[in-house]
Amino acid sequence: MRCGFIGRGHLGGHQFGVPLDLAGMTSQTFIRAREVYGGGAWSTRVVKLLADARGTDLRAPGFRNG
C-alpha cells in the first residue's frame, strides 16, 4: 500500500466525519520511514522500520534478502 492511497483515504474519512484512526497512524509510519530511509521509501522500508524497532526479522522463512 502506498502512502498516497492512505492519505487520500484519511482525508476522505475526515471530510465525511468517519474516524479512521488506523489510517492516520499508518500515514505517520510512512512519514517516519521516509525520514529514516529517504523520500523514495516504499512499503518494504516501512516493514524494515518496524523490524528494526522490534530488533527482529519480520520476513517469512526462506524469503531472500534484497
Residue 37 to residue 3: CA distance in whole angstroms: 14
**Mean pLDDT taken over the chain:** 77
Mean pLDDT of 35-61: 86
User: Hey, where are the domains in the chain?
Assistant: 3-54
User: What is the gyration radius of the CA atoms in the chain, in angstroms?
Assistant: 14
Q: How confident is the model at residue 55 (pLDDT cuts 50, 70, 90)?
A: very high
Mind listing the pLDDT tens digit for each residue in 23-46?
A: 778 888 888 888 998 887 777 888
Angle at 6 between CA 31 and CA 60, to 5 degrees: 75
Predicted local confidence at residue 54, as pLDDT: 92
- The pTM (predicted TM-score) of the whole model is 0.60
Predicted local confidence at residue 3, as pLDDT: 52
